[in-house]
Amino acid sequence: MTHDAYWLGVAGGLLIVLVIVEMVRRRYLRGRYALVWVVLGTGAATLALFPNLLGRAATALGVTVPFNLLLFLGVLVMLVMIMQLSSEAGRLQERTRVLAEEVALLKTAVDQLSRRDASAAASDSPRAESVRAT
């Protein structure tokens, strides 16, 4: 691999980190999710700077092709992120259901109060008094 390719990897990793920092600053991304992306960007830049690290890790783990180790680790990271996002989606779905039920109960209570006030106002009007007198 040429030195240009190393610097391209470093630039890509740093670009990821900068984009994530900007997204957090603009509140497009929450802090706990941003931390994972910053770690991934830093890891990509580190592997680009020191490509022998991946080879040493692959040898230590008994993986013949270092790129296979990188792909395996990438798949594991994606699975963890998918599980985390699925958990968050389930939690938000439950919260939305509870809020919808609370809104329905409040709306029912407001409608009942409105009807009671309307009937009380109708019984207090002068026309209602004259109708009752006849």
pLDDT along the chain (134 residues), means of 10: 71 83 85 80 82 90 90 90 90 96 96 90 65 54
Question: What's the CA gap between 109 and 98, in Å, rounded?
Answer: 17
| Contact call for residues 81 and 87 (beta carbons, < 8 A) | no
Q: What is the pTM of this model?
A: 0.65
Question: What's the CA gap between 134 and 124, in Å, rounded?
Answer: 16
CB atoms within 10 A of CB 6: 15
Question: What's the CA gap between 11 and 41, in Å, rounded?
Answer: 10
pLDDT of residue 3: 66
Q: For residue 4, what are the CA distances in angstroms to 11, 40, 106?
A: 10, 21, 64
pLDDT of residue 2: 63
pLDDT of residue 41: 80
pLDDT of residue 31: 73
pLDDT of residue 16: 82
pLDDT of residue 59: 93
CB atoms within 10 A of CB 101: 10
| Contact call for residues 13 and 41 (beta carbons, < 8 A) | yes
| Contact call for residues 72 and 37 (beta carbons, < 8 A) | no
Residues found in the chain: 134
For 48, counting Cβ atoms within 10 Å of its Cβ (0-12 exposed, 13-18 middle, 19+ buried), the class is buried
